[in-house]
Structure 1
Amino acid sequence: MRFVLALALLPTCVFADGFDVLEDDTALTHDEVLNLTYGHSLSFYEGGKSRYSVGGAYSYSYQSGATAFGHFEVQPDGKVCVTFVNGRTRCDRFVRSHGRLVLLTQDGGRFPVRPR
């Protein structure tokens, strides 16, 4: 009976903050995320690029050349929340997974970051 109860509670624990975290994922700390983002750009394997300015401006350039602009904040728990100029918002989490840096989106996306 305890085993069944533990299994029933597992999805709640793993997905409590809305991110599809895998067993071997290690979330970056607040300080690690600050060092990763502020004043830096991150490139992704699908061709996109995120730019995080020191002043909080954010842009994402798609492989097609289109760009989305907004403002980002690093939350105390390490999540990066972006408010786009069109009013849309999104929060992401960075994890280390099998030696790779990966951006997780709350809707289940996993985007490996290219090494700098």
Structure 2
Amino acid sequence: MRILLFLLCLPGVAMAGDFSLLDGDAALSREEVLSLTATQRVEFYEGGVSHYSVGGAYSYTYAGGGTAFGRFQVGSDGVVCVDFRNGRHRCDQFVHSHGRVVMITEDGQRFPIRP
């Protein structure tokens, strides 16, 4: 049973880090992502706000209220991964796209960032 569970999880692990980039997308480098997160506040057009702490603490405040807390790391490829307190895990990639910065989730959702 454990082996079956492990094998079922493998495709998800293999796909981690595969982001749906569109024509005109250019991934931010690790240095660019570190600079972006160093501002400690990233605001999205839909109203949510990500807060990045120098010590690695992360929080996301939803537009309608409520906050999710966790810890983040920026990988050597510039991908930001967050381990949330509720046990969930997510990785995002930031790209330059047609004159703006956009965050792309692993499942292909795109969230433009306010300048």
Please confirm whether the aligned pair reaches a TM-score higher than 0.5, indicating the same fold. Answer: yes
Please state whether the residue corresponding to 2:31 is helix, strand or coil.
helix
- Distance between the aligned counterparts of 1:16 and 1:81, measured in 2? 10
- Distance between the aligned counterparts of 1:86 and 1:97, measured in 2? 32
Give the paired residue count: 101
Partner of 1:23: 23
- Cα pair 1:103 1:113 within 8 Å, conserved: yes
Partner of 2:90: 90
Please tell me the residue identity of whatever aligns with 1:60. Answer: Y
- Distance between the aligned counterparts of 1:93 and 1:82, measured in 2? 12
Partner of 1:38: 38
Structure 1 runs of 4+ with >4 Å offset: none
- Cα pair 1:45 1:114 within 8 Å, conserved: yes
- Distance between the aligned counterparts of 2:112 and 2:105, measured in 1? 11
- Closer/same/farther in 2, CA of residues 51 and 17 from structure 1, 3 Å limit: same
Task: Report Cα offsets for 1:4-31 as digits up to 9, x if no partner.
Answer: xxxxxxxxxxx99421100110000010
- Distance between the aligned counterparts of 1:16 and 1:103, measured in 2? 16
CA RMSD of aligned residues (A): 1.4
- Cα pair 1:38 1:56 within 8 Å, conserved: no
Task: Report Cα offsets for 1:78-109 as digits up to 9, x if no partner.
Answer: 00000000110000000000000000000110
TM-score (structure 1 length as normaliser): 0.83
Equivalent runs, 1:64-83 vs 2, <5 Å: 64-83=64-83
**Structure of higher CA gyration radius:** 1
Partner of 1:10: none
Task: Report Cα offsets for 1:28-76 as digits up to 9, x if no partner.
Answer: 0010101110351010011100000000000000011100000000000
- Distance between the aligned counterparts of 1:114 and 1:59, measured in 2? 17
- Distance between the aligned counterparts of 1:99 and 1:23, measured in 2? 13
- Cα pair 1:39 1:53 within 8 Å, conserved: no
Q: Which residues of structure 1 form unaligned runs of 5+?
A: 1-14
